[in-house]
Amino acid sequence: MLVSLVVPVYNVSSCLPKLLESILSQTHHELEIILVNDGSTDDSGAICDSYALKDSRITTVHTPNRSAADARNTGVGMASGDYIVFADGDDYLSDDYVEYLLHLCIDNKADISCCAWNTDTQGKLTKCTYRKREPGLYKGNHEAMRALLTTRLMSSSVWGKMYKKSLFDEVRFPSGSNYYEDEETIYRLVAKADSVVIGDEPKYFYVMRSSSLTHRSFDENNLKIIKVFEERCAFIENAFPELSIYAKSDILMVVNHCVIRLSIEGKYDHPCIDDLKAYYIKYEKFFLRGISYLPAKLFSVVAYINIRLAMRLYNITGNHNGYN
């Protein structure tokens, strides 16, 4: 069965060969590999071309620099496989990444399959941890959405998943976006899925790099995630009202993450602090009823009372496990 593997590429020449070697080592050979070079200014485009010469399954597309979202959309538009998977140019895959996800889909007659992942921090691997629901099959789009909202393994990242191609009919990533484009898209795909299956084996390797977009110094772009989750909440309240408590809880989860990021950077007087405080007032009761771990709930309670105190306590304690 043909699977389309889409890779957006932008200035990742130092790590791109590792990803491409892991792709060419896949145990599932019936692959259509689409590399979308999004206007790279380093040697990434040349590396893509050299690998395309090595393997006829690889197609390289060179475009002006637009965004990761547009690069993925280009790949989706070209895909002719029965299923689509994604990988980012600075990550890498286990040899059976595609085979594992494909078998999950076929064996469970699922529209989306998910695997666990390892975070690679300078060669140290850490497996993702669960929230409060187990891996398994979630039948119906209501239960599929519940899995997204309540299972950490069903993250909002586009990688680590396989999608039936038809789910992308009338669904695309937000054009021009380099921030949180996954979170703006995944829930719309899940809403169309008849079922989702979640596996617990880590088959994707997410490389933590300090130079990546998501690890740059805090600025207004980091606040976009809150608006994205508010839009997601509005969608879920309309389509799946019984699940709205989890969607509202997740708004405060990402607010927590913003406050923690400010804490780490010592930005106790950032102009957005008062705006963040308003979210605690609005969503605290939902967060306390949600599925986040106790440390995160305690942090939110302190922030509800005094947000700067919560920031200082976070930096003092030094034990930051469970802030999800």
pLDDT in tens, 83-123: 999 999 999 999 999 999 999 999 999 999 999 999 999 99
The tokens for 235 are 């969608």
Query: Over the range 43-55, which residues count as b (16 or more CB within 10 Å of their CB) and which as e?
Result: ebbebbeebbeee
| Mean pLDDT (whole number) for 42-60 | 98
Q: According to the model, what pLDDT value does residue 130 have?
A: 52
Ordered structural domains, the chain, with CATH: 3-214 (3.90.550.10), 217-317 (no CATH)
Q: According to the model, what pLDDT value does residue 121 have?
A: 92
In this prediction, residue 133 has a pLDDT band, given cuts at 50, 70 and 90, of: low
Q: What percentage of the chain has pLDDT greater than the value 70?
A: 94
Q: According to the model, what pLDDT value does residue 109 have?
A: 97
The pLDDT of residue 213 is above 50: no
| Mean pLDDT (whole number) for 9-38 | 98
| Mean pLDDT (whole number) for 222-243 | 96
Q: Is residue 217 exposed (0-12), middle (13-18) or buried (19+ Cβ within 10 Å)? A: exposed
Q: According to the model, what pLDDT value does residue 178 have?
A: 83
Other residues' Cβ atoms within 10 Å of the Cβ of residue 77: 12
Per-residue pLDDT of 274-315, as tens digits, reads 999 999 999 999 999 988 889 999 999 999 999 999 999 999
